[in-house]
């Protein structure tokens, strides 16, 4: 597979990843739209899924940035599906969603058609080279999370203290 992908011209590789992203994104959007309009068990599962931290974050992103959240989510890891499902469930009009999705999937196709797969191949062939980068990113995320928790606890303490008169 790697040799075949590397043998593709750059434009063809980008087109391949773009097409794959379009199919994946459209499928997720269609499933979300179907679950939002139906009264079946799938709707209950989608509602349960939408009540997780990742999906609440995606909802805030969509509510804050609107249609711009769609192309922006393709620059993230772990938030794409949540944002796409959120736009489907909240009923974003197709005349806005389709252009935003095409731009976002093109961005994703360019990233994976150029440097993205090089990182994947490097990871598969020599994980010790990429592992320190992954460790640094994970430590940064954990540090950010710990900082946010400390800040939230501090705000709660401030709320419980009586107001001085």
Q: What sections of 50-163 are H helices per DSSP? A: 53-65, 69-73, 80-89, 94-111, 117-125, 127-160
Mean pLDDT, residues 137-165 taken together: 73
Domain match, 133 and 153 both: yes
- What per-residue confidence (pLDDT) applies to 163? 59
pTM: 0.68
Domain match, 143 and 72 both: no
Domain match, 28 and 93 both: yes
Q: Across all residues in the chain, what is the average pLDDT?
A: 82
The span from the CA of 30 to the CA of 103, in Å, is 18
SS3 36: helix
- The band of 6, judged by pLDDT with boundaries at 50, 70 and 90, is low
Number of domains in the chain: 2
Whether residue 55 has pLDDT greater than 60? yes
Domain match, 94 and 32 both: yes
Domain match, 40 and 10 both: yes
Domain match, 6 and 34 both: yes
Domain match, 22 and 60 both: yes
More confident residue, 35 or 81: 81
Give the residue numbers spanning the domain of 12. 2-117
């Amino acid at each position: 597979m790697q040799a075949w992908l590397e043998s593709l011209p750059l434009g063809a590789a980008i087109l391949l990843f773009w097409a794959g992203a379009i199919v994946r994104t459209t499928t997720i959007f269609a499933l979300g739209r179907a679950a939002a309009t139906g009264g079946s068990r799938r709707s209950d599962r989608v509602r349960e899924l939408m009540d997780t931290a990742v999906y609440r974050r995606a909802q805030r992103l969509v509510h804050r940035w609107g249609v711009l959240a769609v192309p922006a989510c393709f620059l993230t890891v772990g938030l794409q599906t949540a944002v796409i499902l959120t736009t489907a469930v909240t009923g974003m009009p197709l005349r806005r969603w389709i252009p935003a999705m095409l731009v976002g999937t093109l961005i994703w196709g360019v990233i994976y058609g150029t440097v993205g797969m090089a990182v994947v191949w490097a990871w598969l062939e020599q994980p010790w080279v990429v592992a320190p980068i992954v460790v640094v990113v994970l430590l940064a995320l954990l540090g950010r999370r710990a900082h946010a928790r400390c800040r939230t606890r501090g705000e709660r303490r401030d709320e419980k203290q009586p107001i001085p008169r």
